Amino acid sequence: MAATSATTLSICPTTSAGCKPSRQKAFGLKFNSRSCPRSYGLKAAESVRCDLETSFLGKESSAALRQSFVLKAQKENKRSWNYVQPQASYKVSILGAAGGIGQPLALLAKMSPLVSALNLYDIANVKGVAADLSHCNTPSQVFDFTGASELANSLKDVNVVVIPAGVPRKPGMTRDDLFNINASIVRTLVEAVADNCPDAFIHIISNPVNSTVPIAAEVLKKKGVYDPKKLFGITTLDVVRANTFVAQKKNLRLIDVDVPVIGGHSGITILPLLSKAKPSTIFTDEEVQELTARIQNGGTEVVEAKAGAGSATLSMAYAAARFIESSLRALDGDSDVYECAYVQSDLTDLPFFASRVKLGRNGVEAFISSDLQGLTEYEQKALEALKPDLKASIEKGISFVQKEAATA
């Protein structure tokens, strides 16, 4: 992107109908100034414009980020400075950055105005990814780390660790089919996180999330550094799909739609609460069943469409980038950050459960228990039906770590 008097970073939201720039505004940070802080590779700003209506940040997040830049701009003007620098001050590490999710996720993270350093780790092929991304004229610096010998360095002083590492789903595979391979990968990576950045937010993407998050928790416990408020299973893709499919079905503006999704992150454990959708919408019984099934099987829909060539990598990267941005905003002091995530929870009789949570500087600040109140009969039955599957997945993850410890 060539540097001109106005530089804009854009994320154009994608739906199955495609992107329509004429009707939607992209995520943008626009900088206009006579002076240029060369260290950023961006033109500096006397004013900052954030067009965020349809970014992965969401409406509330967009407004908060926009206001934060306005306040910073006003503060800097009082000091008679003629530019505003984005407050890029957080380090993010992506473990599995050369993979199908890791590469597009790294690109989206590189575009965040809050990221100062982006550490990319993988067992191979990550140097080229880092070199490619480093040419993008956005504030964050990119560093590459290859192989087990460099894993520790990739985690030093990191604020957020994202783990998409592992093998992807293939046609006919369930998330549980991935367990034996990905369980070991997650265990090894989380051990390194515990040793090198125990206070970081940990985002688990590697499937099966219903089991890999309990694995991560057990590893952190054994290391004596477990903080349940900072360990997240990323179920944001279920919310992204729910919002998209509902907006399409009911002909709503996507920016207005918000559907909480609870439970887990696989098959029937994914439960969209359509009765809690915003704006309030009336669904027929047939629509509820159809939408619920499609949201639950969204991953399979993509796997089959790619016919063996991959899984839901791009939409997962988009959803993960949204959760990264929310985490960074929370770390930066934003007091109005809410996301659905699979975390240690006491909302049900299960030790881990996905629900809407409020995020703060120390991680999960509150559970939005009202989402589970006043459910429809269909939702209540679906909630009870998912519990045995989710419980079994949780116990499988815990058992994996305990067996490994017993044989060590």
**Cα separation of 4 and 11, whole Å?**
19
Question: Taking the model in full, what pTM does it have?
Answer: 0.81
Q: 17-35, pLDDT tens digit by residue? A: 333 333 333 344 433 333 3
User: Active-site residue numbers?
Assistant: 265
Q: 164-186, pLDDT tens digit by residue? A: 999 876 777 666 678 988 999 99
Question: For the purposes of burial, counting CB atoms within 10 Å of the CB of 286, is it exposed (0-12), middle (13-18) or buried (19 or more)?
Answer: exposed
Predicted pLDDT of residue 16: 37
- The chain-wide mean pLDDT, for the chain, equals 84
Q: Look up residue 33 and give its amino acid.
A: S
- Is the pLDDT score of 195 beyond 70? yes
pLDDT, average across residues 108-119: 97
**Cα separation of 177 and 369, whole Å?**
32
Predicted pLDDT of residue 20: 37
Predicted pLDDT of residue 70: 53
- Is the pLDDT score of 37 beyond 70? no
How far lies 301's CA from each of 5, 95, 288, 308, 315, in Å?
44, 26, 18, 12, 12
Q: What phi, psi does 381 have (nearest 5°)?
A: -65, -40
Helix, strand or coil, per DSSP, at residue 52 = coil
- Is the pLDDT score of 9 beyond 60? no
Predicted pLDDT of residue 59: 56
> Are 259 and 280 in contact, with CB atoms under 8 Å apart?
no
Q: What phi, psi does 172 have (nearest 5°)?
A: 85, -10
pLDDT, average across residues 189-201: 98
SS (H, E, C) 208-272: CHHHHHHHHHHHHHHHCCCCHHHEEECCHHHHHHHHHHHHHHHCCCHHHCECCEEECCCHHHEEE
pLDDT, average across residues 91-96: 98
Q: What phi, psi does 391 have (nearest 5°)?
A: -60, -45
